[in-house]
Amino acid sequence: MLQTLAITLQVAVAATLVNLPLALALGWLVVKKRIRGGFLLDILASLPLALPPVVIGYMLLLLLGRRGPIGRLAADVLGVDILFTWAAAALAAAVISFPLMARAFMVAMHGVDERIERSARSLGAGPLRVFFTMTLPLAYRGLLAGVLLGFVRALSEFGATIVVAGSIPGRTQTLPLAIYESVQLGRDEEALALVAVSIALAVATIAAHNWLLTLPRRGET
């Protein structure tokens, strides 16, 4: 069980780290820069919420396989196969959890008073400096909540993961996959123990998320 838990945390942390800069960039482009086509970017980023996870898994299978552009490049340049590795599981978890993190980031950035940002720009600060020194500090509570939401979703990912990574004990088997296998094999005690661990992880992460939402913003008392 400890090995399965370690793989689960490894996959979830990696997925969250992959998503963090992408979600920040998307939020900045859509909310603050208001780039042309931002509406379409928002829709594309939200697609994993609307599509069945197995569809996402199949699309990743086409991209990461030896005949796919990413898989072929990894095989030719690095000499490695991505499919059926923990990296494939992390990518699947990242794609599935990205919309939750990105949308939380956009809401957090939208809540930052633009008058403060305009004042900083009027004093000579560039857009990126305003973003990193004003927007992010003022939106930190929502950003941290978004990170935790993405993390807890990555912990529970199943459908896309099993397509691209399989359920290989000690290599790609995460808690959801181990629970599924235990149920299929009739190992009820093992399944219940894994369920208890999953619930504990989810409760801890959601509790931290809810606690962050109660923190006052900078300047509030």
Question: From CA 146, how far away is CA 98, in angstroms rounded?
Answer: 10
What is the pLDDT at residue 216?
A: 64
Task: Using DSSP, state whether 125 is helix, strand or coil.
Answer: coil
Note the pLDDT of residue 2. Answer: 84
pLDDT, residue 218, reads 52
For residue 72 the two structure tokens come to 């072929």
The pLDDT value recorded for residue 215 is 67
Q: Is residue 221 part of a domain?
A: no
Q: Closest Cα to residue 10, out of 172, 137, 177, 126? A: 172
| Contact present, 213 and 111 (Cβ < 8 Å) | no
Flag whether 97 is in a domain. yes
Q: Which two tokens stand for residue 169?
A: 């004990």
Phi, psi of 96 (to 5 degrees): -70, -40
Tell me, yes or no, whether 103 lies in a domain.
Answer: yes
Domain of 134: which CATH number?
Answer: 1.10.3720.10
State residue 221's pLDDT score.
46
Asked whether residue 194 is domain-assigned, the answer is: yes
- Model pLDDT, residue 86: 93
Specify if 219 maps to a domain.
no
**pLDDT value for 123:** 80
7 in a structural domain: yes
- 173 neighbors 167 (Cβ within 8 angstroms): yes
CA distance 5 to 23: 26
Contacts of 9 (CB under 8 A, 6+ apart): 155
Q: With b meaning 16 or more CB within 10 Å and e meaning fewer, what string describes 48-72?
A: beeeebeebbbbbbebbbeebeebe
Tokens of 135: 């927007």
- The answer to whether residue 220 is domain-embedded is no
User: What is the predicted pLDDT for the residue at 196?
Assistant: 94
| Structural domain boundaries, residue 11 | 2-21+32-214
Please state the separation of Cα 36 from the chain's center in Å. 25
Rounded-to-integer distance, Cα 72 and Cα 77, Å? 8
**Where are the alpha helices (H) located in the chain, listed in sequence order?**
2-27, 38-50, 53-64, 69-73, 86-110, 114-122, 127-130, 136-138, 140-155, 159-164, 175-184, 188-214
64 within domain boundaries: yes
pLDDT along the chain (221 residues), means of 10: 91 96 91 82 88 94 89 86 92 95 91 83 81 86 89 92 91 93 92 92 84 64 46
Look-up of token digits 């305003």: 130
Contact 55, 92 (CB under 8 A): no
pLDDT at 220: 52
Number of domains in the chain: 1
